[in-house]
Amino acid sequence: MSGGLVRRSSNLLRTLQKQEVKSNHGHPLYQTRQFLGSQTQSRPYLGRFPNFPRKTRECSHLSPAAFSSSSSSSSSSGSASSKVGLVRWYLGMVKSRPIVTKSLTCALIYTAADLSSQTISKVQSDSYDLQRTLRMAWYGMAILGPSLHFWFNLVSKLFPKRDLVSTLKKMVMGQAIYGPIMTVVFFCVSARLKGETDEEIIARLKRDLIPTLLSGVMYWPMCDFITFKFLPVHLQPLMSNSFSYLWTIYLTYMASLEKVETAF
């Protein structure tokens, strides 16, 4: 009988405990205890990322200068890539359409050189002689550009190597053959486009040809050495045109001199 009394007492105690839990479930103290328990359980997960709060604060304190510097670097890289793309496009045009590309390049260089020559020599009140500039541009596009293409291809076939001896041979051929011929052609074409007669052209050649050739001997050998020694044949006209910018300023000045008076 005493054993049955003990069992009933234990059942009664468990029933009272369940009722207490149900009645205290909405109590604030019970909710606080449950919240603290959940925080304690979640602490190991936060321990896996100990720097997460600090990284969040660092990201929140990033200055606008960081974003502006990144945007400026991206814009500079974009401009650099556009320049590289332009150079790649030009080199592709040199290989695919060499004569047209080299002729247009030569025309642009002769135009810039003639305008520079007029800027140096003209009086402040004078205006630019656009007809003279058009004559120089036409000469560069129609005569000099194609001739440079065929000349550099010819000497590269005769002397395909780029060693010192081959380079010197190319330089001698340029100074002895190509340079004098093209200088004569330049003076004759320029004078004819200005309306000079045959006698006046011959008189101009007698006056201006020898001084121009002597100036070319002092200027072109080093330019030719760099061109023939260090550049492939398809880029040699471009380098020669680059060197010819300064030379053309002098050459257009010589061509713009007054014609020689001839006796009738």
Q: What is the DSSP string of 80-118?
A: HHHHHHHHHHHHHHHHHSHHHHHHHHHHHHHHHHHHHHH
User: For 141-167, what is the mean pLDDT?
Assistant: 94
- Residue 144: DSSP 8-state: I
| Cα–Cα distance, 196 to 27 (Å, whole number) | 116
Q: Which of 120, 243, 235 is nearest to 179 (CA)?
A: 243
In a shared domain, residues 111 and 219: yes
81 in any annotated domain: no
Coil, strand or helix at 29: helix
Q: Which residues contact 226 (CB under 8 A, 6 or more apart)?
A: 239
Is pLDDT larger for residue 75 or for residue 146?
146
**Rounded-to-integer distance, Cα 219 and Cα 223, Å:** 7
As for how many domains the chain has, the answer is: 2
Q: 238 falls in which pLDDT band (50, 70, 90)?
A: confident
Tell me whether residue 13 is in a domain.
yes
Query: Which residue shows structure tokens 């305008």?
Result: 115
Mean pLDDT of the chain: 79
Using a cut of 0.75, tell me whether the model's pTM lies above it.
no
Structural domain contains residue 197: yes
Q: Answer with the one of 60, 77, 110 that is the final residue of a domain.
A: 60
CA distances from 150 to 34, 99, 178 (A): 93, 9, 11
* Residues 240, 136 within the same domain: yes
258 by Cβ neighbours in 10 Å (0-12 / 13-18 / 19+) ranks as exposed
Q: Which amino acid is at 149?
A: H
Residues 223 and 143 in one domain: yes
Whole-number Å distance between alpha carbons of 35 and 222: 87
In a domain, 169, yes or no: yes
Helices (H), the chain: 2-23, 28-47, 52-60, 64-96, 98-121, 130-139, 145-158, 164-173, 179-193, 198-230, 236-255
AA letter at 47: G
Q: Sort residue 4 into left (φ over 0), alpha (ψ -120 to 50) or beta.
A: alpha
What pLDDT shows up at residue 14? 66
Residue 16 pLDDT:
55
Residues 227 and 114 placed together within one structural domain of the fold: yes
Residue 4, pLDDT above cutoff 60: no
- Give the C-alpha separation, 148 to 141, whole Å: 11
Please indicate, yes or no, whether residues 103 and 180 belong to a single structural domain of this protein.
Answer: yes
In a domain, 209, yes or no: yes
Percent of the chain with pLDDT over 90: 48
> Residues 53, 104: one domain?
no
The C-alpha angle with vertex 86 and arms to 83 and 89, in degrees rounded to 5, equals 150
Residue 242: give the domain boundaries.
Answer: 99-255
Quick check: is 42 in a domain?
yes
Same domain, 20 and 122: no
Q: Are residues 241 and 113 in the same domain?
A: yes
- Quote the tokens at residue 256: 């713009």
Do 103 and 30 share a structural domain? no
Residue 77 in domain: no
Indicate if 16 and 131 belong to the same structural domain: no
pLDDT for 135 equals 93
Place of tokens 């656009």: 130
Instruction: Kindly state whether residues 106 and 43 are assigned to the same domain.
Output: no
Same domain, 232 and 128: yes
Tell me which of 175 and 122 has the higher pLDDT.
175
Establish if 261 belongs to a structural domain: no
